[in-house]
């Protein structure tokens, strides 16, 4: 049971993120929801590759024993980098939207400018 806690955390993060995206009215909070989902997925990937008592797969002269899988970590790294780019783009959109409409409320934006 105790080993499944990361998976529950993954599900919780993704659901909280989806809730924020679907029900929050503030654009910044929607973006936070997306980053929460992203953290959940990244945590899932990392958890998949981890084995109890394993060392990080970066040593040439490892202390022995098992190592965690390097591939999910490489995938997570790629995903984090992409996530940063998306986050930056979304925030710059929000800045522009705020300049046009002087609000971040989704109900008030999108009208004629």
Q: How many residues does the chain have?
A: 113
Query: 83: which residues sit within 8 A by CB, 6+ positions away?
Result: 35, 38, 42
Q: How far is the CB of 80 from another protein (least distance, A)?
A: 11
27 within 8 A of 97, measured Cβ to Cβ:
yes
Residue list 78-97, contact with another protein (CB under 8 A):
78-79, 82, 85-86, 89-90, 93-94, 96-97
Residues contacting another protein: total by CB under 8 A: 32
User: Closest Cα partner for 29 from 111, 104, 79?
Assistant: 104
Which residues are at the interface with another protein (CB under 8 A)?
A: 14, 21, 27, 30, 34, 37-38, 41, 44-45, 48, 71-72, 75, 78-79, 82, 85-86, 89-90, 93-94, 96-97, 100-101, 109-113
């Amino acid at each position: 049971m105790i080993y499944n806690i990361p998976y529950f955390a993954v599900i919780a993060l993704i659901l909280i993120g989806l809730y924020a995206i679907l029900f929050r009215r503030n654009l910044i909070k929607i973006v936070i929801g997306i980053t929460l989902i992203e953290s959940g997925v990244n945590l899932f990937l990392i958890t998949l590759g981890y084995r109890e008592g394993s060392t990080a797969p970066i040593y040439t002269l490892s202390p022995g024993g098992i190592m965690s899988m390097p591939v999910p970590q490489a995938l997570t790294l790629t995903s984090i980098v992409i996530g940063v780019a998306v986050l930056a783009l979304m925030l710059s959109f929000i800045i522009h939207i705020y300049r046009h409409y002087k609000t971040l409320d989704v109900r008030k934006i999108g009208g004629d400018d």
